[in-house]
Chain A
Amino acid sequence: MTSETLVPFEDVLAAYDPALGLEVHVELNTATKMFCGCPAVFGGEPNTQVCPTCLGLPGAMPVVNGKAVESAIRIGLALNCDIAEWCRFARKNYFYPDMPKNFQTSQYDEPIAFNGYMDVTLPDEGGDGETFRVEIERAHMEEDTGKSTHVGGSTGRIHGADYSLVDYNRAGIPLIEIVTRPILGAGEKAPAVARAYVSQLRDLIVALGVSEARMDQGNLRADVNLSLSPKGSGTLGTRTETKNVNSFRSVERAVRFEMQRHAAILDAGQAIFQETRHWHEDTGITTAGRPKSDADDYRYFPEPDLVPVAPSREWVEELRGTLPENPVLRRARLQESWGYTDLEMRDVVAAGVMGEIEQTVAAGASPQAARKWWLSELSRRANDAGVEITDLGVTPAQVAAVQALVDAGTVNDKLARQVFDGLLAGEGTPEEIVEKRGLAVVSDEGALSAAVDKAIAENPDVADKIRDGKVAAAGALIGAVMKEMRGQADAGRVRELVLEKLT
């Protein structure tokens, strides 16, 4: 049997109960790193955002970033967690070249937040969507590692590489790791629950404003734990942990794949090997990583260079007051404010662009225009590209800027689509793209008037019909003018000119 042997999804459910566990790492958007004053910025020339502390130089010491603690508490509160009155950082000891100290400063048995839950709404074709409660075991603070790039070899992994490069810019960036309790009873909905949880967790993080939360950029990274147990047995099977699943869609696919793969192994009477697995976005499969045992010995002990974190109850309550509104209430409020129908709103929610539309409207576009661009144009493009719409790389501000160009008559909808082409190709701001691509509609009345005259002359029959009062026939002339102008004309203005000249 190979690991690619899969059991049809329905057959998995007939024989097994899935248990899910999700570990999500959220990279905070604090100005500085978790334990030093280096800028916590993504990218940048390798090894330029570093100092003795985040490089782990001998003698350097950590100091906790208060803003990161604040973000951790707000995330914990938003996940209905208890907030520790007193907790410590711990050292997680293991050797790896991208970890400067060869221990990660993390939290072990004293997380800042614990014992919470999130109610996730599952997309449902027919109705309002079913709610599923995901219990949160803990959310804890830790530092990110550096980033290794393995050069040479076929896999891009350390084994077989000719050499490796390490960029410590990422080392020490604050992370919050959010760990669920085992999610039981999801059955056939397990893949959808996993996706909805990660997706709604991301919405929550965005609403809290504590992270850019872009999965494609690694600001939000999901590890998917999955095990199967014989149906109705009430036990927990051996799990695998699929690392770094980097889109909502992939979370769903990875759960589904692992369920089918596990079932095939178990059906054959074999045992699941406890290990980490790598997710392959292109082929939609997982492959074996390193063995992972519960006995991995990280020799945790309290970090002696840091003092305990003891958030006062007053501060916690103050932070509770800064939480964004309840998602259900928010949805109702936005629908009313935007004037969308129930169907329109459901499509918006299903597409996961409510927040994007909110920001687009805030940037000046009308709710209808914002919906049009996000739901038709951008979701089609995301689909074509096989990425999440939020990972497409077009921002709400850009969408609003494109719509502003439409409103100003600079471009029409057709030209606007080409502006989006330019945005996706990274050609600059919408204004720059219009300029570079020569997309502006022709507003030169002389040229437009000449084109209208030409169209009238070339289509005398149509012109006569309009003169006779059949205004609907104007479409044919407008089409001819737009063709003449290669689309770069304001169709509304063309219509006015046609009617002016013939009626």
Chain B
Amino acid sequence: MTAVVRWTRATAAGMAEALERGETTSVELTRAALRMTEMVDGAVHAYLHVDAEGALAQAAASDARRAAGAPLHALDGVPIAVKDVLTTTGLPTTCGSKILEGWIPPYDATVVARLKAAGLPILGKTNMDEFAMGSSTEHSAYGPTRNPWDLERIPGGSGGGSAAAVASFQAPLALGTDTGGSIRQPGAVTGTVGVKPTYGGVSRYGLVAMANSLDQVGPVTRTVLDAALLHELIGGHDPRDSTSIDQPLPGLVAAARQGAAGDLTGLRVGVIRELQGEGYQAGVLARFQESLELLTKAGAEVVEVSCPSFVHALATYYLVMPCEASSNLAKFDAMRYGLRVLPEGVDSPSAEEVMRATRDAGFGDEVKRRIILGTYALSSGYYDAYYGTAQRVRTLISRDFEAAFGQVDVLVSPTAPTTAFKLGEKLDDPLAMYLNDLATIPANLAGVPGISLPSGLADEDGLPAGFQVLAPAMADDRLYRVGAALEAALEERWGGPLLDKAPALEGGSK
């Protein structure tokens, strides 16, 4: 095994241990990751921007700290990729949009600052649907990311770049953001692990907002334990984010280690009746059933619960999200930063004309669609019927969760109704695209945490399917306990990680 293969296929926890034991260096790990990117990212296009120089400098600094016996954190020296929706000092942050082309933020998002304070070299910024609007990463203004399992297929979205980077071994860890499933659905279709933490559990300061009341930053990894390690690092109260919860996180790494032992005796698991059946691919449901059997085998009690309001979740989401987004995106007006387009044929254009020309040229169709939807829904005379009703339904969805969590410890469903679809397949049918987030959206509306982990390959197409676990707010530890237990049982069945079954990429030997 070459060093590149050896070190890129290691888990983050494995890398941390190897660093601790002196078996490798951060520079070696970072070089290996960058080398893998050179080999495969021409095909995958997970990154919008690779910062080889910066990452290697951070890696060298990490090695110096470790040599001096003063590492900053267990993950000090383990490289990471960051979704391009999080601000990074000195690195471009485009949000996948032309309107922010060339913008270099003067400040770090809190989560990025925490990565830096812990010594994780930042490899680069990953591709995404423009302003996180999409489920396929095809809405990136810089071209789509491709699924490492099948380059003709989508890697999910909006965080397809982060998921594909991790799935193609270009990074052991990545940060994603999840507004309606943008961490979990890409995780499902790329055979990786993605966690949307409790709303308020991870700072949003420096996350370029799509929908402030739904957005959450979370880990994108290959294993449940790695997600717990990263989640503990980025989570916790931030005074710069008023919606951040001022309470200590439950022990996530401990929960993952406990779960990996495989004993779920006494755990009550609720299968959400409304999130299965019609519209779900047979192979996805088959893998889901298998996972339920494994949970039962591990001692869990599996029952079915009903969350009747969930059938309205998608409609609710497509009112709340565009309303907030339409207002958030107003700031992109060419006055202070980003793209500036002068209208053609106008001698001395007014500020308003420049704003209009810039926004017309700088935003893609999906972004414009949501701005128009949100502007309409917030308009005088429509506000109560749309935004007001959506907020009331949101309350009902929260109540469904509360009632369900009165009966069970965690709720489960398939993460996405299908495996990865083909590039272009749903690009002209927004509603079909939106339906892919059916199962992930309720958690965002209620602010509860969720994890997606691989449940296996669907029989029809041999592509990964995802298993979603949801827990009550601030009980993120349950995701890790259940997730780690299921992961251990599945990997025992598969004889190793699911990603070992992924086809070799151009240049990326197995």
Contacts and interface: CB of A to CB of B under 8 A. Distances in A.
Given A59-B86, A301-B324, 4 more contacts: A59-B208, A63-B239, A158-B351, A304-B324
A95 B103 CA distance: 21
A103 interface: yes
Contact of B243 (A58, A301, A307): A307
Interface stretch (B36-44, B168-176, B308-316, B329-337): B329-337
B205 interface: yes
A93 to B, nearest CB: 5
B243 A305 contact: yes
A485 to B, nearest CB: 63
17 contacts: A52-B107, A57-B107, A58-B100, A59-B86, A59-B105, A59-B107, A59-B109, A59-B208, A63-B241, A95-B333, A102-B330, A164-B351, A301-B378, A304-B243, A305-B209, A305-B243, A306-B243
Interface stretch (B45-53, B272-280, B379-387, B491-499): B379-387
Contacts of B95: 58
Interface string B220-255: 000000000000000000011111000000000000
A299 B86 CA distance: 27
B204 A61 contact: yes
Contacts of A158: 350-351
B337 A57 contact: yes
A304 B105 CA distance: 23
A329 interface: no
A97 B351 contact: yes
A391 B345 CA distance: 48
Contact of A60 (B206, B352, B387): B206
A56 B331 contact: yes
Interface string B321-350: 001101100111101110000000000001
The winner among A55, A64, A102, A297 for most chain B CB atoms within 10 A is: A102
B207 interface: yes
A133 to B, nearest CB: 33
A306 B212 CA distance: 10
Interface string A242-267: 00000000000000000000000000
B202 interface: no
B213 interface: yes
Nearest to A58: B208
B69 interface: no
The winner among B330, B336, B350 for most chain A CB atoms within 10 A is: B330
A62 interface: yes
Interface string A163-174: 010100000000
A400 to B, nearest CB: 43
A154 to B, nearest CB: 16
Nearest to B103: A58
B205 A101 contact: no
Contacts of A91: 327
B240 A299 contact: no
A472 interface: no
Interface of B: 86-87, 93, 95, 100, 103, 105-107, 109, 204-209, 211-213, 239-243, 323-324, 326-327, 330-333, 335-337, 350-352, 355, 375, 378-380, 383, 387
Closest 8 CB pairs of A and B: A102-B330, A304-B212, A299-B378, A304-B213, A58-B208, A59-B206, A59-B87, A59-B208
Contacts of A59: 86-87, 93, 105, 107, 109, 205-209
B330 A101 contact: yes
Given A59-B205, A297-B379, A103 B330 contact: yes
A96 B109 CA distance: 27
Contacts of B335: 97, 166
Contacts of A63: 239-242
B186 to A, nearest CB: 21
A415 B105 CA distance: 58
Contacts of A52: 105-107
Contacts of B93: 58-59
A55 B336 contact: yes
B377 to A, nearest CB: 9
A93 B208 CA distance: 18
A304 B206 CA distance: 15
Interface in A59-74: 59-64
A102 B211 CA distance: 16
Contacts of A97: 333, 335, 351
A100 interface: yes
A495 to B, nearest CB: 69
Contact of B375 (A299, A300, A306): A299
A343 interface: no
B177 to A, nearest CB: 11
A307 to B, nearest CB: 5
Nearest to A101: B331
A295 interface: yes
Given A100-B331, A305-B242, A61 B205 contact: yes
B105 A57 contact: yes
Given A52-B107, A305-B209, A299 B379 contact: yes
Contacts of A95: 330, 333, 352, 355
Contacts of A299: 326-327, 375, 378-380, 383
B380 A295 contact: yes
A113 to B, nearest CB: 21
Nearest to B387: A301
Given A95-B352, A305-B243, A306-B242, A60 B327 contact: no
B86 A100 contact: no
A166 B337 CA distance: 14
A91 to B, nearest CB: 5
Contacts of A295: 380
The winner among A59, A164, A300 for most chain B CB atoms within 10 A is: A59
A62 B242 contact: yes
A61 B240 contact: yes
Given A63-B242, A299-B375, A306-B242, A93 B105 contact: no
A93 B378 contact: yes
Contacts of B241: 61, 63, 305
B370 to A, nearest CB: 14
Given A52-B106, A58-B105, A59-B207, A301 B240 contact: no
B137 to A, nearest CB: 20
A93 B207 contact: no
Contacts of B205: 59-61
